[in-house]
Structure 1
């Protein structure tokens, strides 16, 4: 999950695995595989960085758990 900020300032967690599309129109719109869309304050590049960090964290956690056994 990544944390993003709605235009009203509310922070929410979204499932990064369900993100289908991120576009700036000029507001940043995240479209999910479910068809739902949300507008957030973060830029497209910030969303990309958040998703990459999230995926990296998941991979590292899995790698560490695998090496403990």
Structure 2
């Protein structure tokens, strides 16, 4: 799970299941498309989201050792 901020929501954070992210686009706002087809527009950049997903997956791997 990764924490992101809804666009123009004055700090309204929510958590997204990183395993359900299908695509991330900057158009120029950052849009996350989930495998269900649902689209989320967030304040974080595409690079920030990719970094968060990578950190999340690394933490899963560390816990399996």
- TM bucket (normalised to shorter chain) is over 0.9
Q: Which has the higher helix share?
A: 1
1:17-36 aligned within 5 A: 17-36=19-38
TM-score normalized by structure 2?
0.95
Give the number of the structure whose alpha-carbon radius of gyration is greater: 1
SS in 1 for 2:64: helix
Q: List gaps (5 residues or longer) in structure 1.
A: 64-69
Distance 2:14 2:50 in 1: 16
Moved over 4 A (4+): none
Q: Which residue of 2 aligns with 1:67?
A: none
Under a length normalisation based on structure 1, what TM-score does the superposition of the two structures give? Answer: 0.89
Alignment gaps of 5+ in structure 2: none
Distance 2:37 2:26 in 1: 17
Counterpart in the other structure of 1:11: 13
